[in-house]
Amino acid sequence: MSRSHTHPHPHKPVVFDEFFAMGFDESASPFITPSSRHWAKQIPLRSAVIASVLLVGAYLLQIWPVTHALSYLLLIGVYFLAGIPSLIESIEDVARLEINIDVLMTLAAFLSVLIGSPLEGGLLLVLFALSGAMEDAVTARAKGAINSLYKLSPTKAYVIETDGTVIERSVRDINVGTKILIKAGETIPLDSKVLEGISSVNLVHLTGENLPVTKKVGDEVPAGAINYEGALVLEVTHTSADSSIARIIKLVTQAQEAKPQIQRWFDSVSKRYATTVILLSALFATTLPWLVSIPYLGFEGSIYRAIAFLIAASPCALIIATPIAYLSAISSCARSGILLKGGVTLDALAGCQVIAFDKTGTLTLGNLRCVGMNALQPSGETQLKEALSVAVALEQNAVHPIARAIIKYAEDKPTELVQLQEFRSIPGYGLEAIYQGKQVFIGKISYLAEKLPAAVKGQLNDFANEIQRKGDLLAVMLFGNDVYVFRFEDTVRPKMQETLSQLKAGGWQLLMLTGDHQESAKKIAETVGIENFKADLRPEDKLNIVSQIAQEKGLAMVGDGVNDAPALARATVGICMGQVGSSTAIEAADVVLLHDNLDQLEWLMRKARKTLRIVRENLTLASGVILLATTPALLGYIPLWLAVVLHEGGTVLVGLNALRLLDKAK
């Protein structure tokens, strides 16, 4: 995505501070007319390209003596387009007593004019401008993730006043508890809870699932959701500054600002380095004639050589080698629905040898599936059918995963609608009612077993143990004097086996950590292909295991971001499977998979390794150019124009190399 695409909708008003906070392209400025927007797109790149054309023309006109004057006229255009912006920025930096690489480059370019080498100075300015425009383009791509998030929610909402009137108000002025009206087809502006109405909403921008989700009274809906059908009256639960989208934007911002160690080191030494190079250049310019008997001026003079040295020693490529690589990788991950807390996370991921997974909600979807119903005593088909109908009647108003699984199981079975009396819920244990004078109960075996005769109780325990040895879960039902057992299994996440096979092929060791019992853990581990697993873990057990492995080998922990928050925080890298808007997930994890896209984990791990490899390549290339060019330039073996080409050529090469990281996950 180029910067020209990152602008607000032409018919949507732009708030002054929002425009600058969102990093829009110049063409999106609310202070220029629509007819002028086209000319404002990518101004730095346009200026650099025009300056390069003028420079080529100036060079060609230098060949014929009669056109020298015209050549210098074109050079003035080069210095105006590519040099004046750099000169203004450098003067501002010097005024702040800040000597940096930009000051160094600008000084070299304009000093080239004084020693009779304006073409070389123009070449330096053009290449410097082109490399700067390229760096801006990469940075804009990284900002694209934030810009798209800003666009998800409207800037205004319809507020319902206490007297029932509806007025339009900025979302910034809406407090928690305010009632807002959302009509069909509108986008929900703030995190809210449904007070009135029922409708289907689309959460594709937030969850990646392009399917409508029914929302009714009491349900929460995040900002950015699109209302499909009926009107909804909502109660605001979070202000615009604390919404789901605002928290994600904060995370992306942290990712861009959290610099890897090597980049922080370069930032800290760059100012001292630039000052040192300028002082050394001045020293060489004044002392070389005394040391090696050369003149001050001319192409063999000390000033010429000192400027060539200054250009060759400038670490532009070295300085941008790391940030461009990390920004490209972070941008690529963000566009694939993976948010990272900075380049430090990529470094840490590249060093992880072990990947640990939570079971429920990570390797599995956490959705129970009923796989069978068995009668403890001999029972006919009619009795089974009647018992299933009663079970559905008991569970139809419950929201527990077991209830949903039983209702789903009964959908393709011949059941009848039955009426229950004296229905009541037993918190923590199950549901109870009376049907045709018989007591009926469905729920935990521990509650029912104590009410059964000893013989039946022993038979039930034996049957339950057999089911649990197979790794299944169960619920029991009492229907008069008859006992039935429902068997459940968790649903493995789609593509999980393929994803884990790819990780193992890539050399990563896999581990499953779960609090579930041994047999259930063993069944899931065998299904997905994980040989090493640990079950029956208490939270402190899981934390100790994660801590030990993280210290020895480096460990990436993948969990749901809520129950596994301590382990996620203790791991080398915590990767969260939490839904968008979970504050616990965002705070505990280093990586948030917005779409629960665990199938992209292998791509992410390879991306981390590739980023580290490209950073090393860039540093080697940039350092090599400096080491190979500085001494020959000082000795007069490398002319000024070649020092410029080597310097800026190295900068362009490391930038292009870093752009290889912009590839998006399939």
Q: Just list the catalytic residues.
A: 358
Query: What percentage of the chain's residues is helix, strand, coil (to nearest 5)?
Result: 55, 15, 25
Q: Which amino acid is at 77?
A: G
Residue labelled with tokens 């040898």: 353
Return d(Cα 241, Cα 67) in angstroms, integer.
62
Write the CA distances from 575 to 119, 181, 204, 463, 558, integer angstroms. Answer: 53, 37, 21, 39, 5
What would the DSSP string read from start to end of 350-369? HT--EEEEEIIIIIEEEEEE
Selection from 354, 356, 382, 384 nearest residue 372 by Cα? 384
Cβ atoms of 352 and 572 within 8 Å: the answer is: yes
Residue 478 tokens, joined: 């009492």
Query: How far out from the chain centre does Cα 663 lie?
Result: 14
Number of Cβ atoms within 10 Å of the Cβ of 462: 10
Q: Which amino acid is at 358?
A: D
Return d(Cα 148, Cα 144) in angstroms, integer.
6
Return d(Cα 148, Cα 171) in angstroms, integer.
18
Cβ atoms of 368 and 473 within 8 Å: the answer is: yes
DSSP 80: I
Return d(Cα 31, Cα 14) in angstroms, integer.
10
Buried b (16+ CB within 10 A) or exposed e, 192-213: bebeebebebbbebbbeeeebe
Helices (H) and strands (E) in the chain, counts: 24, 22
354: left (phi over 0), alpha (psi -120 to 50) or beta: beta
Rg (CA), the chain: 34
DSSP 378: -
Buried b (16+ CB within 10 A) or exposed e, 500-519: bebbbeeebbbbbbbbbeee
Residue 248 tokens, joined: 């994600």
Q: Residue 382 contacts by C-beta under 8 Å, 6 or more apart in sequence? A: none
Q: What are phi and psi of 519, to 5 degrees?
A: -70, -40
Residue labelled with tokens 């934007």: 249
Write the CA distances from 46 to 43, 71, 123, 435, integer angstroms. Answer: 5, 21, 16, 80
Return d(Cα 537, Cα 534) in angstroms, integer.
7
